[in-house]
Amino acid sequence: MAESDERTRLLTNENRPQYSFNSSIARERKKRVKQFQCLLCGIFLCCIIVALIVSIVFSINVTFDDGTASNNSTNETAPVEIFNILMSQTWPLKDEEIKNITSNDSSQWKAALLFGSKELDKKDNIELNTPTLPVDTPSYRHQKVTPTSIKALQLSRIGYLEEYGAKYMHRNGSKGAIMKICPNVTSNYLDEFCQKSTITCNELQRYRSFDGTCNNLKNPDKFGTSFRPFRRAIAADYGDGISSPRVSKSGQPLPTARTVSLIVHRPFYRDDVKFSVMLAVWGQFVDHDITATALSKGSNGSSISCCGDQSTIHPECFPVIIDKDDPLMKDNVTCMEFVRSAPTPTCCLGSRQQMNQVTAFIDGSVIYGVEHSLVSSLRTMQGGTLKMYVTKDNRTLLPVSQNVNDGCNREDARKKGEYCFEAGDSRSNENLHLTSMHTIWARHHNNIANNLSRINPHWNDEQIFQETRKIIGAQMQHITYKEFLPILLGPEIMKSFNLYPQKTGNFQSYNDSVDATIANNFATAAFRFAHTIIPGLMKFLANDSKSPEFIEMHKMLFNPFKLYEPGEMDRALRGAVNTNIEANDPFFTNELKQHLFERDEEKNNTKTKRYGLDLVSLNIQRGRDHGLPGYVEWRSHCGFKKPETFSDFSYDMDEYSLSNIKSLYRDVEDVDLYTGALSEKPLNGSILGPTLTCLILDQFIRLKYGDRYWYENPNEEIGFNPRQLDEIRKTTLAKIICDNSDNVTHIQPRVMERISQNNDNIPCEKIPRMNLTYWKDNLRKIPMGDNQMDVKTSQSNDIHIS
């Protein structure tokens, strides 16, 4: 009998023979069955894996795990139709006419203005007990980055008085829609803004005024000038018809701006590999050249706190409310600081308007300022140059600011002798890239001024300064319309509306009936689209381009001190031209949504923990503060079909953004312009959707067609001769960076686009440079009795000065 082993049955009721081996046939059969089963399992598993991969890829492109949508698809079914609609409009678009009535009742006018004066006194008394913001806080820095000049502060007081005068007028006799009530009586408050212009303009004046006056000879102190109201393309939509922030069509409050930010504008990171961060840098630089909204301040220029002591609430407060489900509520944060934009005076009593403190024209005011006192403070008054600070290693930076309350200067930096900077625009310290751009252009001004002084030694300081400023403004216009706008609008629209710079000759379409004034919607919503393309991490690159350093974006805010270190500006510039932007869509980096103006030491200090601001919430809130009508009204203004239901949005928005919007807003007409426009799919050849394309196109048409000093205009007395114009057309932002950085030696020619086969890194010397010898005066000596006199003559064809 066979011996027992591990295969022997312990219990058995049958006698069976014990074999010393199994059948080979049976073993083979079992083996093949197992192989077949494994094959089937493998095929099934592969199918599952493939399906999983496809679903993940699809979800990356379409939706996140929280249900939020990506907006990477373009509006491919609509471009022809949308383009045809745009082409069928009369450009620039006609602004909506606001009805007005004339009042001859002097007693009513007197009573209305007296009521406004009393309300202004009340505001001043409230400010005696209203707390100000702590200096070293994100909210204080935010208020500092929206500056209000002394002149704007004074004007805003009249605007506030008028606002309450309008409320008195409409409360006492006016019925129906709010209209402008214009005086037919004398008023000390309104006469300055109602009487026809008394400015005398010289139409052959060679140089622009600093404040934009006399650009338009028919409206010399209105079209495009500084310290005037933004232009209203559509009548304001205020809760009370006059000044209170916009509300739902039902009369109920709109969803809080913070909730819209959290639900619709969630964080998502998707690069646009075609364009560089320099696109956003230039966009901000140009934006600061043409817009500067005045913010409400205390009567002495102090900041206003809205989330502190609730017993005394300032009438200009409009804080962002934090909902109960907001993550900030776990730390008992119920309110985000927000102060309304300052009101501006107008001739008539009507709805509240906001003030632009700078000129509308692309004229370099961001470098020089718009008030004579500021311009003079930035000049050396020698050789037409600007003041600069010289570092220990003999580099030039912007002049320093020693104002400890500017929201930028820091104690630890001051101990090292490092300060923030001063420029023609007080926002120059907002981020390191912007400060670098200011520095580049101030250096560029001085380089041009020094060369003009050498070429024309008989020119005095004023002539050199003004001629340099004129060239700088022309170069800024050329870069904006040659390199920047085509990315925003696409080549087809640029060509169709004659927005590209001329290749030869002059631009012949200046129209003095075109009002170049910046639209309220442009400054408050449309041109803020660029916030969505800012990445959370900024790259810094050394010369070798192989050792990148990445810095969180919020650490660059109000932190220009790296510029004191040799090589750091070059690393920042190289990083900007070598970092992808984020895709233009409804989604934002958390650097802007959670950490705006935050400093790490404040965040980590448990005793005084302070949270960064949410820029998206602030942008939405600003639109409501300004009474911007809802998104659907702007669609209609542009000539597109006005949506009547949420399903009408599906043509231009992806379903996930639309779903989030629908979950928050009660009515299709409630959707904010900023949220609706950013949620549109971009058009082919552009990074913008239809509504943003329309609103930005309209403004830049006005800035070109409505600028008498546009650099390509044919009048040589105030413009440039043909050869000078040819030299200005050589301008590229790449060359200006090359010539005015410390040691950038290689760069791609189109710096707002990423490096590619057709835009590769090349040595700086291969990029064309403007030849200033065409600005040389030809002087011929003419006998005058016993003396000789230098007389300027036409330039010869063979001028060559090294």
In angstroms, the CA 167 to CA 317 distance is 18
In angstroms, the CA 396 to CA 423 distance is 14
Structure token pair of residue 237: 């939509």
Among 308, 352, 261, residue whose Cα is nearest residue 131? 308
Look up 170 and say whether it is catalytic: no
Q: What is the DSSP letter of 342?
A: P
Q: Distance from CA of residue 91 to its chain's centroid?
A: 23
Residue with token string 């710096």: 751
In angstroms, the CA 717 to CA 575 distance is 41
Structure token pair of residue 97: 């006419």
Other beta carbons within 10 Å of 121: 11
In angstroms, the CA 708 to CA 706 distance is 6
Beta strand residue intervals within 524-590, DSSP E: 537-540, 549-552, 580-582
Judge contact between 401 and 418, C-beta under 8 A.
no
Judge contact between 335 and 321, C-beta under 8 A.
yes
CA angle, corner 424, sides to 767 and 213, nearest 5?
Answer: 100
Say whether 444 counts as a known binding-site residue: no
Question: Angle 615-625/257-264 helices, nearest 10 degrees?
Answer: 130
- 265, 288, 314, 438: the active-site residue: 288
In angstroms, the CA 593 to CA 613 distance is 7
Residue with token string 């006492």: 172
Judge contact between 362 and 286, C-beta under 8 A.
yes
Beta strand residue intervals within 149-249, DSSP E: 180-183, 228-229
Single-letter amino acid code for the residue at 333: V
Beta strand residue intervals within 527-595, DSSP E: 537-540, 549-552, 580-582
CA atoms within 13 A on the CB side of 339: 29
Binding residues for heme b: 531
Q: What residues act catalytically?
A: 288
Residue ranges for the known binding site are: 531
